[in-house]
Copies of this chain bind each other. A is one copy, B any other.
């Protein structure tokens, strides 16, 4: 469904958010540990998330990553997916035709575009804050 990079990005963002709710800053090392992700790969993803303003970083000793509550409210899951994987999962043809076009539909178009629309709606309606709250309260988890 999503690439590994995208899964790591969402997990990392949610971890940073849940810690920011408790006014804690987290390092890449912390993030990788808490989300069971490879450290250096996660570091690259954090750079992308920082560059596009989904969260922010503090360099130097005692540095790490944080999010403001505004960032948590403003960031929809769909934005993270689009940033990392592009919009193919939201707009592409389920059978891989070059474009999904209702005027020249693939055999699965009608059924697939409906499900794809629900996926998009779900990710558009879900903010980082929505998910970070359950994580902070220990109701949900980011690793086994």
Count of this chain's copies in the oligomeric assembly: 2
Specify which chain B residues have a CB less than 8 angstroms from the CB of A119 in the assembled complex.
115, 119
Please provide the chain A residues from 83 to 139 with a CB less than 8 Å away from any CB of chain B in the complex.
89, 92, 94-99, 104-109, 111-112, 114-116, 118-119, 122, 126, 131-132, 134-135
Interface string of A52-79 (1 = CB under 8 A from B): 0000000000000000000000000100
How many Å lie between the Cα of A131 and that of B109 in the bound state? 10
Q: Could you tell me the distance in whole angstroms from the C-beta of A105 to the nearest C-beta in chain B?
A: 5
Name 15 interchain pairs, CB-CB below 8 A, sorted by A: A1-B1, A4-B96, A7-B95, A8-B96, A10-B108, A11-B96, A97-B143, A97-B144, A98-B144, A104-B144, A105-B140, A106-B140, A106-B141, A111-B126, A115-B115
